Amino acid sequence: MPGKTINPEDWLAALDESGFRVTTVQETLIDIFAHSEYPLSAEQAWDVARQSRPKTGRATVYRMFEKLESLGLIRRVHGYEGCSRFVPTLPELMMLFICLYCGRADYLDSQPLDNLIQQSELASGHHITDSRLQLFGACADCQQND
């Protein structure tokens, strides 16, 4: 599974542009996201953060997750381990696949989803404004290592 990732500079810039102060906690947490290929819960991120920054507060991490989500920089994963984990948002690659064996997240081209939505709108008469799709299974790597 290829390691697609995000650029911490962009995230800090986004926070700055939105009028938030740039702090060291932010840098720490953004770095944690940038270097993880797995979906992260606030609790997990808190544990990692305290390794390099022991005084980090729990509430602060939750607040930062909220902020990052509201800015669209991370999105929630609705998975087998609950709904409290997040992954970085990759524009144009919104379809998320989670491997049930290694736990890693992979992003897929979302064009097929757009087609599906159009189709379903026509068939049902509903106006669809948002969608959540997640796929689960065995990633290419984990299939080989059986």
Partner DNA sequence: TCCTTATTGATACGTGGTATCAATAAGGAG
Partner DNA sequence: CTCCTTATTGATACCACGTATCAATAAGGA
Q: Which residues bind DNA (CB under 7 A)?
A: 16, 20-26, 41-43, 53, 55-60, 62-64, 66, 83-84
Query: Is the Cβ of residue 22 or residue 93 nearer to its own copies in the bound state?
Result: 93
- Report, in Å, the least distance between residue 56 CB and DNA: 5
Q: Binding partner of residue 22 among DNA, its own copies, none, CB under 5 to 8 Å per kind?
A: DNA
Does residue 92 touch its own copies according to CB under 8 A? no
| Residues 121, 54 contacting (CB under 8 angstroms) | no
Hey, how many other C-beta atoms are within 10 angstroms of the C-beta on 40? Answer: 23
Q: Which of 12, 95, 102, 103 binds its own copies (CB under 8 A)?
A: 95
Does residue 131 touch its own copies according to CB under 8 A? yes
| C-alpha atoms less than 13 angstroms from C-alpha of 95 in its C-beta half-sphere | 11
Q: What is the CA radius of gyration of the chain?
A: 17
DSSP code per residue over 35-55 = T-SS-EEHHHHHHHHHHH-TT
Query: Is the Cβ of residue 9 or residue 136 nearer to its own copies in the bound state?
Result: 136
Does residue 93 touch its own copies according to CB under 8 A? no
Does residue 106 touch its own copies according to CB under 8 A? yes
Determine which helix (DSSP H) or strand (DSSP E) holds 77, and give its type and residue range.
strand 74-79
Strands 105-108 and 95-99: antiparallel
- Report, in Å, the least distance between residue 93 CB and DNA: 24
